[in-house]
Structure 1
């Protein structure tokens, strides 16, 4: 049985004799299974307590870097701030670098100016310039965790978020079920083609609707900003009169609703992502059919765990894809 402690420590923790612990660790015969289990539990307890001792009194500073609409950054910032006290007795602080639109050069510049950080949670474009900036941070001993949208060709230590391709397939399944035999076209609204997460959602959505004969119309490069989104959606709706449904991986949903209303067009199905303030209101008002959501506090907690694990302050835990929640007006969380 693998262990990292002296026989005396394990014996004290388990309440067994040192001779019994020694027999278990060296896999000698004549030891009952429940005794082996007691020794294994004692080692697990020592691991947990060692992790708590590493956290005790330590101070960690993390940076949250995101290009995203303010409605999403506000929601994630609140999630991070709510989770920071959960890591007591360690003291975690967060600095936020948040903006709505910009170039990959701007993102790389912000990453390049980070100093004194114990880790970065990053929502950024999947571009070589960004990957190089991530690699420089990691090379300097600063772990980077990508969130919501990945930069896989970088040295980032983990990706936290949903399975974006699976989310797109889920959206397509719901869309096709609700539209049924109607020949309605579907509009996909993306905030930008350089965000890998949105691209994976779109690919999943398109692949699952392949063969249905539905017209799929895409608008992109709005950065999720309402004014730009409304203009792009109006133009698309005027060109495509059969569009009667929307899948929105990228946000700007209030603007999309406004565009349908301006043209007095019916939107039969509207599937969106994330329970930000706008989407909560639209869902309550019946303007959205469903929201595909993930628990932002759980995401924030996992991202911070990944950073602390890098510093060996917590035991290793893999970052698994966050479960997708299908939210209707009738199961809307408080």
Structure 2
């Protein structure tokens, strides 16, 4: 059964009024996507007035060469030009443009940043995995409700997967522990050498991810907490939002219906098994997956299954928010102090 918490969506775009509040912009350049939000301060947090998202696959081939390839660089610069145009058009007063795992790993990251600056005027910065997880937590705070004392939050990215074990008892929830796994949907797919895999191979992938989760689990006693008192589980990634959309039977993705959706593990497992058993061509035909994501969904499902198998919370709350919202909140808070 699907459930929604009583919280409003921060992505209800609205038309700007002349003379309205100053605008802020946040760009999150990941291994797979280039995404931006432009917002102005509101009574209950950032009010989004414009956005942009494009699949750029910046990390394509990175695992083999150690460098960002020229095709991926050009795709990304093309997307960032659109972002730069929107930033100018909205007269943004403050912005931050961060890059994550692909740029953390790439040998030619500095050259890439210089090229982006020269061709778009956008200054990128590669942030540590810990800051990425902290920004995701800030962006997801409105969904960390429900009466639990602890929450496990995860973000399945293109080049890495971040997990945070969160204390919900403080006035402002904060991470007790953060772990960044060097695996994401893009590098797992390239390592697997195929967008499809047999049922046995899929279970091997789940086991490989589970082995990486074990030290984090042991260090913070996460399994014991789930067994003793339960905890909230929150997932933010294209994998979980896509499965949420499929569960709802959407013919076109609708963020307002997916963000904050809670699914039972029986539904999560059924959906992950169904999608991972499909051939890539069949996944392409699903409207909320399509050709651009079809080759990555099996890997995302393997990571998700490893997480839900190790920590059987029973339910998963889905977040279609994260780093960009966290950046906006931080910038607006800093501006208010000045």
TM-score (norm 2): 0.34
Bigger relative contact order, structure 1 or 2 (CA pairs below 8 A, ≥6 apart): 2
TM-score normalised by structure 1 residue count = 0.34
Say which one has the larger Rg: 1
